[in-house]
Structures are given as structure tokens and as C-alpha cells.
Structure 1
Amino acid sequence: MSGLPAQPAVRHVRVLAAPPVRPAPLDLGDPAGAAGAVRLTDRYVERDGRPWFPVMGEYHFSRDEPEQWETELRKMRSGGVGVVATYLLWILHEEDRGHVRWDGACDVRRFVRTAGRVGLDVVLRIGPWAHGETRNGGFPDWLQALPVAHRTNDPAYVDLVRGWYTAIAEQVRDLMHPGGPVVGIQVDNELYDQPEHLATLRDLAEEAGLRVPLWLATGWGGAELPPGRVLPVYAGYSDGFWEESSTGWPEFGATHYVFSTVRDDLTVGADLRDGPATARAADTAADGAADPWPFATCELGGGMQVAYHRRPLVDADDVAALALTKLGSGSAWQGYYLYHGSTQVLGERSTTQESHATGYPNDLPLRDYDFWAPLGSAGQQRPHFHALRRQHLFLQAFGADLATYPVVLPPGGASGDDVRWSVRGDGERGYLFVNNHQPAAAPLADVDGVRFDVDLGDHRVTVPVAPGTLRAGVAAAWPLRQPFGTVPALTVPAQPITSLETPDGPVVLFAATDGIDVELQIEGVPAAAVSGATTRQEGALVIATPDAAPGLAAEVVVGGTTLVFLPPDLADAVWKGTIGGRESLVLWRGSGWFDGDSFRVEADAADRTIDVLPGLVPGGPAAVPGEGSRFTRYAVPGEEVTRPLPAPRFDAVVAPVRTGGSAGRLSAPADADFAALTPVRVPVPDDVFADAERVLLRLDWTGDAMRVHAGETLIADQFWSGRAFDVDLTPHREQIAAEGLWLRAFAWSPAAGVHVDPRVRPAGEAPVLEVRSASVRVVRTRALR
């Protein structure tokens, strides 16, 4: 028998009819019948009587320039985010007792109203203890020093919190849902053993006038929560700066790339818990499938912060695959931390970041809180911004159905197969999820002969039609007997992206799966009604293979519906929003966002094309020949936006090796260490700021730690992790012109024991401090209508 070809593994699940949906046993939600009512079932969030699949991104208003809020919020919405979550960091608002600030970057009212105008809902994370890598969790120093039992129902502490919540309510109580954008409030953060206190916090907030349908509390670490009073929200990170420098890829990371109904992650925040709490968390961790409320997340890692001792290098595909795995594990609410990077605030009295000097286990940068988020601290759109947008558009278009589907795992669960997969369905139709991606420290291999059998009630679906190769790195969701436009039921190994109603019928975009042929299984339509494909009849099914390879020309028309199959890279270029008063689809590979009634694109050195459906109004860019029949292609002329600068040169000085903090980990160089270095000036031409929306300094470098000063003012810093260093110079233009831009940096020392990803770690035993290139990028945009 050795000469016979290997038979594909049998991968089979049976999906039964979904049980009836019931109200969640939580004291949450708007009254039944209220306009736009937000309510909770045992499976999903409901809005205005329909399933609602929230996509939430964290963006800290107080850690950015108020002048940038609206643009950045519009970018978030253009990325498919519908809810913005934000901390109120008490230390920034009341650094001195009795002097509560709501001006400038602390103006929460302005931020919430801006979010509402942009079209975003808001979740306020009001603390009082917030974390966010803020010293004392955001407690002002005066509060931290008081002889009260912090984060308990100590009456003296509760009275202080009452004052804080009242101050917040005076700013935003009239902006609560319904009628306002604030749909939810999270009380405290990572509080594991004080359920009565969490209930008290909700009471205090409601007494102050903060009344919302959704009350949230972080549930990870086996947290004890007040019964019925809050919805637990969960986390999932691909790596963690809180691990030891000797740790490679943390063990917990793998759990987030395997489909599972376990919601909790005991490791997030574990470095700030004591032993008994950690042990209790392990005892109380449970399978989330038993929870009679939706699986909601608030901290899916949009990237990862770096600490001095440990500097993770998360890839874009790590973030996208983790997010998709949570969808296939039953998530009904995708929340990212951070979705938009930010900058730590220098207080009037001290810095605000966690550090060894303030008793924390980790030394964090003074300013850098970029997190390598999908949107960087200076608004940069990173590859995972685009990859996640593909998922978010899918949820906007099809999430209302997905949210209703329970999860079915294959026999054996996470360890039962060499392919990671799950199904969400209801006995008639559903989605099959596959994930064959893990971070570079533990990559997965191609899997040949992949095919799945799914019994949906009386229907057996086999997908793909012929066994295919599941490529390493693939993460996808495939529709099983789903309706699209006039197509009654479609099964295809390609991920739906979004759809658009047009006068010529619906257009639905799909992302092809690398290594798997696009073969459509169509039910309820005769082969004669299918064009743009080679067809054959197999029983009640029409099997159709597009005539063109994936791309805009891969159009399969079924009845009056056009199905377009795109390669993965082009699928990440899909946008959906309003242009010229019309809902539109855009294919644009660069940075951009919907700005009211236009699509705004960032200028680039290269000439590019943009494809739009429906076409733009006359008088804009010139139309050029394109692909397919539905989109119109336009030329977008490029312009030079990057100016090279002389690469700074440094002496390779190694930082002193010290340990400190509560865990005895490596400590960052101190202020005095940096002050002893010879500063190097970066010549920034004054004319780069002319007509610029932003000016970003980029340093491609290798070293240990760097600080950037405008004159004597520290404006940015970075612990090197293999990434380029981007610095927004725009807010400091006048100071740079008057006092110059200066760098101080320490060399990478292989002997120091700092963890840096092996893919970028310098070889050899000599210290390294090198800036390979320096440039300024001038950000300008143009509006397309």
C-alpha cells in the first residue's frame, strides 16, 4: 500500500440548530422599546432590536493633541471601528488636589462630542484605577499617599471616588446614550478580589448621573465580579513586555491562536498581582461557553508596548490572526488595546509612566506609548490597520448574523488536528474559521490535503470541493450556505469582505485564500444564471470556477449579484464609506480615510491608482483603464514627500547595567546618564513645515535607548526593538526652529541581557549604535469626491 497517495484527513463536525436566544441575566441594557435600545442576550449585544457586533478601539484622548482628535477618530471609523474606548487618567486631570482640569488635552467633553460627530459610540473607562501603564494606575500622587484602603469600600476612599465621578459627570452626563454617544462605562480595571467594591463604583457613577446601558469590568485573571452588575470583558495578547527578559515567546501566546471557548487569560496583569490572587485566578478560570452572556473583549493586543528589559516585536499578521481566532472562538465584541498609539504625558510635577523608581516591576519609556498599534501615535497607518479593516468590514456587513451563531469545535478540540478550525453556525448556515498562523518564534507549516465536512442540519457541506493546501500564515472565515444578494446559498473557501447595493445589483467582495482554489458551491440557482465562470452541475449544486485569477476581473455574476474575488493583498486595500453623498467602495493601497463626504488620501512619491464604485463626480482625478466591469480606476499623481537628512553619528556608549523595581529587572538609563552624553543635532529644514499637516522624523537605527529633545524639552524616546523611530515634529515646530532638534542615545550591548527578537538582534559581541538613515516625511492629503 505504500505506493498509494495519502488520503486527506477527515475533518468533520455536526452543527445543530442554535438554541433560543434569551436575555442575559445582567442588570444592564436600555428599557425594552426605547429608541435605539441597547440590550444584552446570552449570545450577543442587541441594538434597536437587531444583533449588533461592536468593534471597539482604544484611543487615549489625553495622550494626544486635541487638534488631531477629529482626524484620528475619522481614521478609526474608516478602519471599521464603531466604538472608541478611552481612559480617564485621574493623575492627568487632578495632579494637584482640588484643581481638576478639563482644558486642552484633558477636555473629555470635547473628545466625546467629536467622537459622536464623527459617528462613533464611546466607552469611557473611568477608573478610578485605570492602569494604561500609568504610575499608580493613574491615581494622583496625593491620593496614593493618603492613609486610606485604596480600591476598597473604605468610606474615606469611596468619598474621594465620589468626588472624581461627580467631576466627570459634570462634563459628560448629558452625552449618555440614548441621545448621546456614550453607550458604556468600565469601572476600575484589573480588580480581581473586590466584587462589592465594583458594585459600589457603579452605584457611585449612576448617582452622579452617569447612566448607560452597558457597564463593563475586566474579567481576566479569574476576577471575582459582582453578580449581575457588569459584563466581563477579556484580553488576548500575542506577547507581553511583562514577561522576563529570559523568556522567549511566552507560553500564553499560543493559546490565542487556537480556537477555544475559554475566555480568560490568567497572565495579563499577573506581574501586578500577588501570589494568592494569582492562585485564586487559576482556581476560578472556566470555560466561557457556560457564561450566559456574550463573549466580549476590550484588550485584544493591537500591538505591544516595550519595556526596557523586554521588547517584543509583534508582526501585523500576529494581530490579524489573533483577532480572527477570537471571532472563530465565539467573540461577539472585538475590542483592541491599543488601536491608536499615544504619548505618555509629562506632568507638571513628574513623569506619569510606570517605572522602577515608582515601585513597578518594569521600566517603561518616559514618552513612548506607541504600542505599535494599528494607528501609530502620529497617525501612521500600519499593515495591521489594513488587515484588521478587512475583518471589520466583514463584521459591518455580516456580523449581525455571525453574532447569533454558537461555536462548534471539531472533535478533540484544540489538540485534535493539525489544522486549527472551528464553525459558527445555526444548523442551516454558518462560517468555517481556519487559522494557520503563529508568530515567527513558533511558525506553523503548510498543511496539504485540507478539506472539511460540515453537517448543517440535513445538509452536508464539503469545502473546498477538492482538497487544497492551507498555507502557513493563512487565517480566514469561509461562508457555509450563506445568502449574498440574490444568491440563496453560497459556500466558498474565500472570506466575504463587504457588499454594496448598486443600480445594477448587489456587488459582494471576497478575499481568496492563499493555496486554496476559488470554487463556488451555489444552491438554488441554475447554471445558466451564472456567468464569468466555468460551471458544472453536481446534484443540487452548481460548482463554478471564476474565469479570471483573483483580482478585479474575477467577477462571477449569479442572477443579478456580482461576486468579485480579490487576492489577499488587494483585499487589504478595500475601504467602505461615503463619497459625494453615496455609499462607496474604494480600493486604495495607501493611507487614507473618509472625511465627511470625501475620501482623503495621503500623497506619496509614487504615482498610484484608485478604484472606486460608484465612480467619482467629474472634475476630479483622470479616469484610466482598469480591470473588471464594476469599478472605475483613476490616476492619483504622486509627489515627493520624504526629505533625506544627514544620518546622525554617535559614539557607541553603553548604558550602565542596573536592576531595580519590584521584580529586580534591568533598569533603563536614568536622566543623569542621558545628560552625560554628547547631544547630536539633527538639521531640520524650516521649509518642510510649509503646508504640511504633519512632519514626521524617521530614524532607521540600531541601539539601546534614544531620546529626542526640542531644545531642552524631551519630546520623544524609544527603547530600540528593531523598529524605526518615528517622531511627530509638528507640535514643536517653533521650538525646533529656535533651539534645534537634538538626540542622545546609548549603544546596544549584547552583554546587558535585554530581550530583543532574535530576528533583529545584532550579531557579534561589540556594542552597536548606528543610524542607517534619517529623513522627514511631510504628510499632505488630497480629498477625492
Structure 2
Amino acid sequence: MKNKLLLLCLMAVSSIGLAQAIKQFEINADLPQQKIFANHLKLGGTNPNGERIAVNNYYISINDTPIIPVTGEFHYSRYPHQYWDESIKKMKAGGITVIPTYVFWNLHEEEEGKFVWSGDKDLRGFIELCKKSNIYSIVRVGPFCHGEIRNGGLPDWLLGKPLNIRTNDSLYLSYVKKLYDEIGKQLKGLYYKDGGPVIGIQLENEYQHSAAPWGLTYPGQPLDFTASERDRGVTHEGVAVSTANNPYAALGNDHMKVLKSLAEKAGMVTPLYTATGWGNAAIVPNESIPVTAAYAYPFWTPKRDYSPFFLYKNMHANPDYAPVRYTPENYPALPAELGSGISLTYLRRPVVVHQSFDAMINRCLGSGANGIGYYMYHSGSTPRGKHNFMNDEAYGVNKISYEYQGPIGEYGQVREGFHRLKLTHFFLRDFGDLLAPMTVALPANAASLKPENIHDLRYAIRFKGSSGFLFLNNFQDDTAMIDQEHIQVKIKTAAGDVLIPASGGFNLASGENAIFPFNFDCNGTKLIYATAQLLMKGEDEMPYFVFFTPNGVKGAFSFEPGTIVESIKGAKVNRTSVTCTADICEFAVIKDGKKTRVLVVDKERALKAYTIAVNGKKSLLFSNAIVLQNENNFELLSDSANNFHIDIYPKTTAVLKAPAGNLKVIKENPTFSSWHITLPAFEPKLSFREISSRKTAVALPQALPAGINDIYLQVNYKGDTGMDFVNGELVADNFYNGLPWQVGLRKFLSAPVTPKEMVFYFRPMQKDATYLQDLEPYPGYVPDFGKANEYLKVDSISLIPQYKITINF
């Protein structure tokens, strides 16, 4: 009897301990819906096919279907025009739907009256390629742009004219009119109303908020900013909160109206007009969408600090960098400048963690954003002018390089952030119409959470009626969040409570984020919840949905009673519940005679995913290679590896053909149609000679062999700066920040005369360098100076080939 009592006591204690281990969090979705109205906005338009873009106070729609646009900044003038098409296809493969691009006035009219629109400055050619790839564009026409370029894009000669810049000064406006007329000519016939891709025009940039320094300055002199005289007292060096009262705010709004009028007279008539609206900047009230920003790793602040941009809020009511000049509830929340990376300055060199990219997007969407955009998505190199370097030397940025540490690098390198972001982009493409009208709800403690709080769970929901999405984020810049373990979230809806999960809990690792559906319509079957994130949907022999599980999360699905669940692979079924038991999990659900297939993959595989069309049929392709589609042809790019897999879901009967390499069909895979491709190996020979302790000459290959798309010359060094010369001319430069320095060689090898070598010149790091604060959190980034006051060491120089093959079905 005693042993039985002891056993019962132990079981009771054990169950109490288990109950205590579950951490339950609550959030209320039984709230009034978001009010949506539109008659106040003078925005929208139609194209020749009768398609209509419209804007209300909460979201953008096409043909009355809500959309969440995904914009990615790419500056055509900072990249070789012969590779624009490839880069546009990369961006589309990454899920970008709109490409914004600056028109830098001083690059096109460096000398007064002499406009240049050819070569890498061919705006029209760039927009025509966007049209070819069926991707929209927003043209940022200035006249002031910033963009870390000389004078923020204003020509040098403008400083010497008897006028006041960025005002309604008649002489200044006459020059702006000439610029706008020239841009209008370049874009003629390419606007949305003409069947073209240009859906928007951005007017000015950060007007009455920020400016760039004039390039004509003296060493040691305080920076002289390109703001009107009247606005200098409220002008910031970068994006910031601005609480200053500008007595000339009304004049600023009026100037924006004048700019819009000049743009329209130049032919720039589009459904959308945007203006940067953060920090009390000016907009065109009710005629432009005030876009917002969020930079987690700014270079313009004096030191590193914790960013607030990983904490959920209601962005529609309280934009980032508030206060703002407009009424936020009257416009969609469109963060168009999310710092996916950052530029470097000589004094500040932030190291951007790519985990921050999708964490920030998760936070913005969970906070009510109905559009997301990246500055920059694609890095580049700024061309030299006739008289000056055209990057913002006065601000201390590189002379040539505009490497933003973003998803796509200065030479087209596809990076970790590209793959992380596309998972959310694919979700928005297929489910954005559901998310866009949804209302934001926050937990009770959301307003009191601080960025330095690494212990409390960060979560929010978007909902409509009783269905929606749970957003979770466990990332914070410049620190590490604790692992969240044994989480259970209770969502109160009008139709009853939803527990995610119904029993037990799930874990969210430090640095991870997730979006989980609840009361989701899965082709007529109600999915009560899933601890997996939607990736995409399609239809083959039957409709299907694809999910992925965040790292450390086991996929669990709960369907409404009456649902029949059939296990296919890697799934444990208990009535209407499914638990994934493998990295690839497949099952089918049947309700009222409608059958739907579900595929669940782990995040590692999801990061290799691309949405494609095979003979017109939507499919999902997994590969370590970068996959670019051109109708039924696919270009596969692979850095360093000459062999890789291709898996396609759903399985296809289409025959894959490859004109080069060895193609092997993998028949034993029950889930995917699979192939393995092996290309002839290429080992580029590296030859270099040390000229001195600071200077090294590297011999260049004289051509790219067949099957090689590019060769990256990678320099691993620890020092202060690196400069790269060809025939005595500076062609690239690098501010050391702990990351390898890569230079893409193909643009040099395609020159009329191929250079024989590159000469690299390095300068040593100083022990008291101000930027060391940015490098200290990362092991090995700061060298051991010992007793010396400076340090320079070139650890290695190597060549990395990028393989290329074209395949078709």
C-alpha cells in the first residue's frame, strides 16, 4: 500500500512539474476589425488590359484583390548594364515584385546641359528589362536622392548657381524641370497606363528631414548639408526621430506638390506616388504614400545600440521614427527602406547579421505592414565622374564600392539573407491577399517591452474574424535572445479559444522567427493551427500546400473534427492531428469529398526553395544552385561547387535536358522528381607576387572558360582599408569589417582589352580606430596588436569560380 501511495505521489509531482514547464501566453483577437476606407486618396490607375491598381488607407490592391508588394532597391547606374538582366532575374527568383531605383541627377548631368543616358546610365534600357521579366518598378526621380552618393545626387555646378536648393526658387525649379523632362522622355511608353512596368514615382527624398554633405569641402571642416537654408536647423545626418518643430512645414508640403506637378507635366503619371515620410518629413497629403524606414545597423549614430525594430507594435497607428507630419491611419503602413544591410563609413563599420533580415520583416508584417521594401537589396559600385569620385567622400564612405552587405552583393553574389527573405516573400505572394486586410492585435505587455529585454517572448497576431496568423520573433541585434522553450499561445477569438499547440508546447530557438496560421482555410478544410510556416500553394492532380518548420520546431497540425487525414510519409496521425516525425513530411486531408495534399519540409531544405513554372505548371524546386527562370529555360548558378541536386515538387513527367555536364536521374525519391548535375571541374590558377608588405599584384585569367559565369577574387586580410587598381586606376575599394573582400572579375575580363593583373594596396589598422567598437562582438575580427599600434596581415588570396548551366524541360 505504501509503495502504491509513493508511486501516486511521484506521478502527481511529475505531472505538476510538466504543467509548470509549459509557458502559456495569451492574446486577444476578439476585437473590432480594422476600419478600411479609400475616398480620401488621389491614387490609383488602370492599364490597357483593364487591370486596376487601387489604394485605401490600409493596403494596395490589384483588381480589388489585396496585395503586399515586396520592393528591392537596385541602382542600375551602379552595376554593369550587360548583367542587369541576370540581376533582375535573381531578384525575381528571390520573390521581389517591385524594383525601386534612383535616378542620380549628377550621374546623368555631371556637366550642365549634357545629359547622358547610355551604357550603365541607360534608364530606359533598365526599365525595359524589368518589363521583360514582368516585374514592376518605382522610379525615384529626386531631385535630391541621398543614396550615399556625392551631394546626394545634386550636381556640383548647382552649388555655384544664384539659387536656393530644395525650395520653390524659380531658377532651381527650372533646372528640376529640365531633369524631370529628360526622365519623362526616357520613360515614355513604359508607365503602367501604357502597359509598362512603372507603377510609381518617388518624389524627392527625406525632404525637410535629412540631407547629404556637399562634396566641395575641406578636410576638418564641419559638413555643409544639401538642405535649403531655412531647413538646416531641422536637418539630420541620417534617418532619425525628429521632434523639432519646423516653422516652414507648410512650405515644404507645397514644394512637394510643385514637384509632383512638374513630374506629371513631364509625363510621369502613375498609379502610385511615394514620399519618404519618417521623422516629420514632408509628403503630398492624400496624393502620395508616406513610406517608412527601419535601420537596425545605422552608420550615422555614434555607437552600436539595440534597435527597436524587432519589437512588435501597431505600425499603422504608430510608424517607426515617429512623430510624423501626416495622419498614419489614413495611409497604408509601407516600410520601403528596411535596412537589409548597411553601407560602411571610414569611422563606423557595422557588421550586419543576416538573421536580422527576416526577423525584421516578420516584425513589420506582425505589426501591420502591408508592403515591405529593402534598401539595399542589390549592392553595386559607383562609377567615377569626369572630375570626382561620385560616392559621398565627404561622409566618409568608400570611393567606389557601394557594398551594402545585403541579400545580393556588389558583384551579384547571392547571400544568406537572400535565401532567408524569399521564404517570407513566397508566403506573401500566395497568401498576401489574406494577410493584408487583417487587423493587428498585441499582447498586454507589448508596449512595455524594451529591446534589451532578451527574456520575454515577442509575439503578435494579424486576424480577420476568427482566423489569422501568429507572429513570433526571437532575434535582437547586438545581443542574443534566450531560447524560448515549452511555449503555448492561447488566442482568444470570437469563435472560441485556440491553443497553439493544443497540448504540450513548442520551442523557439534564439535568433529564430516564425509565422503560424490559425483557423486557416486549407482548401475547404479548417486547419485549427500549425506549428509550421506556410511557404506556398499550388495545384497539380489535387491542390497542395507547402509548409516549413523553423529550426528546432517539430511540425504539428490540428484540423477540425470530421477531417480525414491520410499519412503519406514522415507523419504520425492521431485522428485529426498530425505530428511530423521526419525532415520531409507528407499527408493528405479530406473534407466533404475535397482532397488536399500537404508537404512539410525543414527550414534547411526550405532555404533551397524556388517557385517556378514547369511547362506552365506552378512547382517548387529545391537546389543548392541559384535558379533563374526564363520561360521554360533555367539558368543554374553554383558558387565553387561543380555538382548539385535538383528536386521538384510535385513530381513531374517532364523530361529535363541539359546541353552540358552529366545529368543523372534519381529514381528512388518518392516525394520529388530528382536529378543530379555534374559539370566539368574548373580550377583557376592563381599567381601573385608581393611587391611590398602593403602591395600585392595578382595575375588575372584572360577569359572566362565555357561553363563559368564569373570568378570571384577573394582576399582575406586584417587591416584598415584595401584598394584595387587596374592599369593604375582605382576600380574597387574595401573598408575592413571582418568579412572577406570579394571582387567579381567578369566585368574586367569583358573589357575591350583584358587587364593582365590587379594591384592591391592595403593600409594597416590603427589600435585606436573608432570602428573597432563595431568589430569587437565578433571573435577574431579584431587582431591582437600586442605592443604594436598598428596591424596588417593578408591571410589568403583565392579564386572562386561560379559555374553556370542552362537546363530546360
Partner of 1:150 in structure 2? 165
475, 478, 482: which is aligned to 1:445? Answer: 482
1:233-248 mapped onto 2 (5 Å cutoff): 233-244=291-302, 247=303
CA distance in 2, matches of 1:285, 1:226: 11
Report the Cα distance in structure 1 between the residues aligned to 2:74 and 2:437, rounded to whole angstroms. Answer: 29
Distance between the aligned counterparts of 1:626 and 1:293, measured in 2?
53
Shift of 1:113: 0.9
1:211 matched to 2:250? The reply is no
1:306 aligns with 2:344: yes
Deviation sequence 1:135-162 (CA, Å, 0-9, x none): 1110011113222111111111111111
Contact 2:714 2:797 in 1 (8 A): yes
C-alpha displacement of 1:222: 2.2
Q: Which runs of 5+ in 1 are unaligned?
A: 267-281, 357-361, 654-678
**3-state DSSP of counterpart to 2:45:** coil
Structure 1 residue 108 corresponds to structure 2 residue 123: yes
The sequence identity of aligned pairs, in percent, is 27
Instruction: Give 1:195's aligned amino acid.
Output: N
Structure-2 residue corresponding to 1:743: 760
Deviation larger for 430-439 or 686-695: 686-695
* In structure 2, distance between residues paired with 1:781 and 1:764: 43
Matched, 1:55 2:97: no
C-alpha contact (below 8 Å) 1:414/1:420 kept by paired residues: no
**Among 10, 28, 45, which residue is 2:60 paired with?**
45
Q: Size of the alignment, in residue pairs?
A: 723
Matched residue SS, 2:738: coil
Q: Compare 453-462 and 308-317 and name the one that shifted more.
A: 453-462
Aligned-residue CA RMSD (Å) = 2.4
Give runs of aligned pairs for residues 152-551 of structure 1, distance below 5 A: 152-178=167-193, 179-192=195-208, 193=249, 194-244=252-302, 247=303, 249-251=304-306, 253=307, 255-262=308-315, 264-266=319-321, 284=324, 290-356=328-394, 362-415=395-448, 418-439=456-477, 441-465=478-502, 466-503=504-541, 505-523=542-560, 525-527=562-564, 532=569, 533-537=571-575, 542-546=576-580, 548-551=581-584
Native 8 Å contact 2:68 2:436 kept in 1: yes
Moved more, 758-767 or 397-406: 758-767
User: In the aligned structure 2, how far is the partner of 1:7 from the partner of 1:692?
Assistant: 54
State how far apart, in whole Å, the 2-side matches of 1:489 and 1:691 are: 47
The answer to whether the 8 Å contact 1:570/1:589 transfers is no
Shift of 1:688: 4.6
Distance verdict in 2 for CA 1:779–1:103, change over 3 Å? same
The question of whether the paired residues in 2 share the 8 Å contact of 1:430 and 1:479 is answered with yes
After superposition, residues 112-151 of structure 1 pair within 5 angstroms as 112-151=127-166
1:635 aligns with 2:676: yes
Give a deviation string over 1:284-308, Cα, whole Å, max 9, x none.
589x8x5222110211112111111
1:771 is aligned, of 791, 794, 801, to: 794
Say which is worse superposed, 619-628 or 82-91, in terms of deviation: 619-628
CA distance in 1, matches of 2:622, 2:562: 30
1:323-343 Cα deviation digits (max 9, x unpaired): 111111111111111011110
Residue segments in structure 2 that go unaligned for 5+ positions in a row: 1-11, 209-248, 450-454
Distance 2:323 2:688 in 1: 55
| 8 Å Cα contact 1:344/1:352 also seen in 2 | yes
Q: CA deviation at 1:650?
A: 7.2
Name the amino acid aligned to 1:769: L
C-alpha spacing 1:770/1:650, structure 2 compared with 1 (3 Å): farther
Answer whether contact 1:24 1:293 (CA < 8 A) is retained.
no
Q: Does 1:23 align with 2:38?
A: yes
Shift of 1:34: 8.1
Contact 2:700–2:756 at 8 Å: present in 1 too?
no
Letter matched to residue 771 of structure 1: V
Q: Residues of 1 paired with 2:602 and 2:755: CA distance?
A: 50
Output the amino acid matched with 1:583.
Answer: K
Matched, 1:577 2:616: no
Amino acid at match of 1:13: I
Q: 1:66 to 1:33 in 2, by over 3 A?
A: closer
Judged with a 3 Å threshold, the aligned counterparts in structure 2 of structure 1 residues 697 and 491 are, in CA distance, closer, same or farther, namely same
- Which residue in 1 is equivalent to 2:3? none
Quick check: 2:566–2:573 contact (8 Å CA) kept in 1? no
> Are 2:639 and 1:609 equivalent residues in the alignment?
no
Matching residue of 1:757: 775
Instruction: For 2:710 and 2:355, locate their aligned partners in 1 and report how far apart those are by CA, in whole Å.
Output: 28
Q: Deviations over 1:429-466 (max 9, x none)?
A: 10000000123x21101122311111221231110232
- Structure 1 CA distance, aligned partners of 2:38 and 2:536? 30
* Counterpart contact for 1:296–1:331, Cα < 8 Å: yes
SS at match of 2:352: coil
Query: TM-score, normalised on structure 2?
Result: 0.85
1:627-776 superposed matches below 5 A: 627-629=669-671, 631-641=672-682, 643=684, 645=686, 649=690, 679-686=695-702, 688=704, 692-733=708-749, 737-738=754-755, 740-755=757-772, 756-758=774-776, 759=778, 760-765=781-786, 766=788, 767-776=790-799
Q: CA deviation at 1:10?
A: 3.5
Q: 2:28 aligns with which of 14, 20, 24?
A: 14
Deviation at 1:641, TM superposition (A): 4.5
177-186 vs 724-733, which deviates more? 724-733
* TM score, norm. by length of structure 1: 0.88
Residue 735 to residue 618, structure 1, CA distance change in 2 (3 Å): closer
CA contact (8 A) 1:17 1:427 kept: no
Aligned counterpart, 1:555: 586
The secondary structure found in structure 2 opposite 1:332 is: coil
Is the CA contact 1:238–1:301 (under 8 Å) kept in the aligned structure 2?
Answer: yes
Q: How many angstroms does 1:71 deviate by?
A: 0.8
Kindly tell me: are residues 33 and 491 of structure 1, through their superposed partners in 2, closer, same or farther at Cα, counting changes over 3 Å? farther
Question: Counterpart of 1:660?
Answer: none
TM-aligned CA distance change 1:685 to 1:65, over 3 Å: closer
- Residues 220 and 651 of structure 1: CA distance in aligned 2, closer, same or farther (over 3 Å): farther
The equivalent of 2:103 in structure 1 is 88
8 Å contact kept, 2:691–2:697: no
CA drift at 1:582: 3.1
| Corresponding residue for residue 601 of structure 2 | 566
Q: 1:622: which partner in 2?
A: 664
Segment of structure 1 superposing worse, 644-653 or 413-422 = 644-653
| Letter of the structure 2 residue corresponding to residue 167 of structure 1 | E
Contact 2:700–2:755 (CA under 8 A) maintained in structure 1: no
| Compared CA separation, residues 30 and 705, structure 1 to 2 (3 A) | same
Answer yes or no: is the 8 Å Cα contact 1:95–1:140 preserved in 2: yes
Mapped contact 2:279–2:323 kept (Cα < 8 A):
no
* Most deviating of 50-59 and 579-588: 579-588
